Structure 1
Amino acid sequence: MDITLDKQTNTDASIKIKLAEADYQPKVESKLKEYSKKAQIKGFRPGKVPPSLIKKMYGKSVMVDEINQLLTDAVNNYIKENKLPIVGEPLPDTDKAETIDWDTQKEFEFSYNVGLVPDFKVPVDKLDVTDYQVELSDAELDEAINNLRTRNGEHIHPETSAEGDFLYGKLKQVDGELAKEDAFISLVTVKKDALPQFVGVKKEDTITFDVQNTFEKPETAAHVLGTTTEEAEKLTGNFEFTVTDIERSEPATLNQDFFDKMLGKDKVTTEEEFKGKVKEILQDNYKQGAEKRLSDEIRTQLVDNTDITLPDDFLKRWLKASNNNVTDEILSKEYNLYVKDLKWSLIKNKLAEENSIKVEHEEVVDKTKNMITQQFASMGMAELPDESLTSYADNFLKAEKGKNYMNIFEQVFTDKVIAQVKSQAPIKTRAVSSEEFQKLDAHTHDHDHDHDHSH
């Protein structure tokens, strides 16, 4: 077997293979012997079929199969041994293959087109990124705690209504047919100047109101009346609402039951400890958000500023050859996105090689366990015993025919590469308020959105 690399350009090459009969014939003979032992052909006992008949029946297809396998192994080994920086997969030269006469030829020549990526440097030292340290204000902490108290408050039924209450009652049109036995009005939806007549009322009191001048939105009027929005907008005149019940949501009291419900049994025992823990959780959320923002910015800048020459024509041919649903139209829209992902993958592999970054199986398992623990915590469920956690992780990693494993592996790999970049890059730090950070984040998302449309 003779195998050579013919480089046309920095990015395009052909792997050429010459096969002599001696390269493939022994394997063909061996496979035909197996066939002769197993073949069941009418008129012959098993194992007694003449070799000439077996060769006539199966010789050509066995030769084609064995040569194809030989070529696949030879090309893969050549790429590995010579450390060729290929992208995509080798594409057989089909024009050349079509001229082969499998009935008479003993020697063969094959050619595979490959796309190469010339060596490149990752400009980690040229990164211009900022690690934002988010500072939580006292006002935001108080607001977060008030929200928790409101969401987990208890419902009481006071004798007299106040702003923000819910009124239940019977509704009827004064000069019309419309009536509703189980009407419901949230005083938050009532216009400011109409509110006084709904405040300070008791059970059995009747309120008369003008439907068009009472609610902030026509949708609310429709909901109260039990009609469509269009119908509600056409209704005029007064309605009578007779109160049957008043409901008020009172914020939860800052006591041990509330602390346990929010954070878990006996995690904190005082109001001060509770505030401290909520602050810690909020700051941790911001920290994770800031870390993600920094990682995204590192990826974007490295992809945009690393000079990588790709074999574009080859890649487009390969994408079409390996995916039936990829058309020229899809390529014109999606190719730039594909290139960004490919560049990021090449950059990560380059950095991993330069810094001896490897991912161990245990790291994949630990990442999966953390992910499962967080999912259980977000659903308000208790921590899992380690035995159950290991079992969950094992089942998850084996599912989807190994896809889950590869996804987590890739996450761990990316995390390790990003951590390496952070340790080497000139990263600025800047303290910002949570309001500033949220504005920064919103600006980034807007920019991403605009960027997406440009493809």
Structure 2
Amino acid sequence: MEITLDKHAANEASVKIKLGEADYQQTVDAKIKDHAKKANIKGFRPGKAPFTMVKNLYGTSVLVEEINAILSKSLNDFLKEQEFEILGDPLPSEEDSKSIDWKNQKDFEFGYKIGFVENIELNLDQKIDAKVYEIALSDKEVNEAIDNIKKQYGKMTNPEVSEENDFLYGDLKADDGSYEETLSLPLTSLDGRTVKKFIGVKKEDTISFDPSKAIKGEISEALNISKEAAENLKGDFTFTVQNINRTEEAQLDQELFDKVFGPDQVSTEEAFLEKVKTILSENYQKEIKVFNEEQIKDGLISNHKLDLPEAFLKEWLIRANEGKVSNEDVEKEFPAYAKQLTWSLISNKISKDNDIKAEHEDVMEKTKEMIREQLASSGMGAQLEDNMDMFLQNYLQGNEGKNYMQMMTSVQNEKVLDFVKSKVNLKEEKIGVEKFKELLEN
């Protein structure tokens, strides 16, 4: 056997593997003899068919199987010895496989394309163009959260006369007869001038308006209809009221406290407000943590421009997905893929250089935290904590073990980022919720 490597570019190479008869024939003959002992061929007692006949029947398939096994092991062992980092999987030459004469050929040559990166040099002493943020809640966010809770747990009523924040249920018709539908119209979706027409109306009242001019934002979202239907809502329409729906806000009393947080968890309005504020703050801190980490990743990626084998990776993505993605799909998604791959390479390098490992206990604890959050959001946390081990086992063993590996990767990333934070000098800034939303949009 002969294996050669040809680096024809800074990040791509070809590998050739030459096999002679001596590399495979002994094993192939042994496997054919094993087949002969078990073969049940018409005209012969089981295991008594001539070796030559068995070889004619099974020889080619055994040969292909054995050579593929030799190639796989040899190529993997060879690449493990290299100092560069292999990306994707080796791509076998399609021309080689088409030209093989398995019946008559004794010597074989196989070619592979590989993509790689080498000499990943990290410098955590460089200034990272990233800023980490801390969110400061204002009374506005807390009050909005309280208002939403009061509406969510409020009671639905059907008053006789409409008011500003009601929902009107009724028939929307085009004057020219081209459109008619029964739907719910939220008065909060109407502009200031039009909404006045809908305040103070009663059942069976009819109001004329132009939905395309009166409704703020996306009409399809406001009326819960398709975008195609929304495109037809232009011109003169009438809305005939069938019913008026109003949500009366819940009172800040013990009944509401128990509904939101469970029986006897909160007993005063002050404690309720404080608990809402705490949960709201925790939720925003989780969001800002993810945002900050992405900022740090982007800064590290910008400081470490890796020379990725772009052409190779695009070809590998297409061939690996076996026709499920097109060239256009790969071109569109490649920048995001390249960014994630670069971060993965940087993260692995930091882990290796600094002996950072995700331990089994870390994975278990992180998974428990995730499960507790999910149970708490469903209001079942306290009742199901006793069954944590069952939930933990079911999740980590699910998805054919991929869930465990995903959690391990997540833990590893967190440890790497914590290490980076301890090494680099990051700018810090305290911002409000509105500013944070602007950052997310940008």
* TM-score of the alignment, normalized to the shorter chain, above 0.5: yes
Question: Match of 2:430, SS?
Answer: strand
| Per-residue deviation, 1:343 | 1.6
- Equivalent positions of 1:336-347 (< 5 A) are 336-347=335-346
TM-score (norm 2): 0.77
Query: What corresponds to 1:411 in structure 2?
Result: 410
Distance 1:4 1:257, change over 3 A: same
Supply the AA of the counterpart residue of 1:356.
D
Query: What corresponds to 2:294 in structure 1?
Result: 296
Check if 1:356 corresponds to 2:363.
no
Question: Match of 1:383, SS?
Answer: helix
Question: Match of 2:382, SS?
Answer: coil
| C-alpha contact (below 8 Å) 1:167/1:185 kept by paired residues | yes
Q: Give me the whole-angstrom Cα distance separating, in 2, the residues matched to 1:42 and 1:191.
A: 92
| Per-residue deviation, 1:35 | 0.3
Question: Match of 2:258, SS?
Answer: helix
Ranges in structure 2 where 5+ consecutive residues have no aligned partner: 169-183, 216-222, 224-229
TM-align CA RMSD: 4.2
Supply the AA of the counterpart residue of 2:148.
N
- Equivalent positions of 1:278-297 (< 5 A) are 278-297=276-295
| Per-residue deviation, 1:40 | 0.8
| Per-residue deviation, 1:294 | 0.7
Check if 1:377 corresponds to 2:365.
no
Distance 1:142 1:106, change over 3 A: closer
| Per-residue deviation, 1:230 | 7.5
| Per-residue deviation, 1:72 | 0.6
Distance 1:195 1:128, change over 3 A: same
Post-superposition CA distance 1:81-108 (Å, at most 9, x none): 3354111211223444555444444443
| Per-residue deviation, 1:308 | 0.7
Question: Match of 1:374, SS?
Answer: helix
| Per-residue deviation, 1:19 | 2.7
Check if 1:55 corresponds to 2:46.
no
| Per-residue deviation, 1:133 | 1.6
Equivalent position to 1:268, from 245, 266, 269: 266
Q: Give me the whole-angstrom Cα distance separating, in 2, the residues matched to 1:91 and 1:410.
A: 26
| C-alpha contact (below 8 Å) 1:123/1:302 kept by paired residues | no
Post-superposition CA distance 1:202-226 (Å, at most 9, x none): xxxx99988459x9x978xxx9xxx
Distance 1:30 1:247, change over 3 A: closer
Between structure 1 and structure 2, the one with the greater Rg is: 1
What is the identity percentage for the equivalent residue pairs of Structure 1 and Structure 2?
Answer: 39
Supply the AA of the counterpart residue of 2:132.
D
Distance 1:53 1:389, change over 3 A: same
Query: What corresponds to 2:15 in structure 1?
Result: 15
Distance 1:407 1:252, change over 3 A: same
Supply the AA of the counterpart residue of 2:308.
L
| Per-residue deviation, 1:233 | 4.4
Q: Give me the whole-angstrom Cα distance separating, in 2, the residues matched to 1:232 and 1:114.
A: 62
Q: Give me the whole-angstrom Cα distance separating, in 1, the residues matched to 2:110 and 2:186.
A: 79
Check if 1:316 corresponds to 2:314.
yes
- Equivalent positions of 1:20-59 (< 5 A) are 20-59=20-59
Question: Match of 1:44, SS?
Answer: coil
Query: What corresponds to 1:127 in structure 2?
Result: 128
Post-superposition CA distance 1:217-253 (Å, at most 9, x none): 978xxx9xxxx997994669xx9x9xxx999755433
Equivalent position to 1:257, from 251, 255, 258: 255
| C-alpha contact (below 8 Å) 1:198/1:207 kept by paired residues | no
Check if 1:366 corresponds to 2:365.
yes
Check if 1:136 corresponds to 2:137.
yes
Ranges in structure 1 where 5+ consecutive residues have no aligned partner: 169-183, 200-205, 445-455
TM-score (norm 1): 0.75
Q: Give me the whole-angstrom Cα distance separating, in 1, the residues matched to 2:14 and 2:196.
A: 82
Post-superposition CA distance 1:140-160 (Å, at most 9, x none): 3234323323432356899x9
Aligned length: 413
Supply the AA of the counterpart residue of 1:265.
P
Query: What corresponds to 1:152 in structure 2?
Result: 153
Question: Match of 1:119, SS?
Answer: coil
Post-superposition CA distance 1:48-93 (Å, at most 9, x none): 1222222233223312221111111111111123354111211223
Question: Match of 1:385, SS?
Answer: helix
Distance 1:44 1:84, change over 3 A: farther
- Equivalent positions of 1:419-430 (< 5 A) are 419-430=418-429
Q: Could you tell which deviates more after superposition, 424-433 or 75-84?
A: 75-84
Query: What corresponds to 1:178 in structure 2?
Result: none
Supply the AA of the counterpart residue of 2:111.
S
Supply the AA of the counterpart residue of 1:372.
I
Q: Give me the whole-angstrom Cα distance separating, in 1, the residues matched to 2:233 and 2:400.
A: 54
| C-alpha contact (below 8 Å) 1:96/1:110 kept by paired residues | yes
Q: Give me the whole-angstrom Cα distance separating, in 1, the residues matched to 2:167 and 2:52.
A: 97
Supply the AA of the counterpart residue of 1:256.
Q
Question: Match of 1:147, SS?
Answer: helix
Question: Match of 2:49, SS?
Answer: coil
| C-alpha contact (below 8 Å) 2:163/2:199 kept by paired residues | no
Post-superposition CA distance 1:338-388 (Å, at most 9, x none): 322322222222222122222233433433332232222222334353453
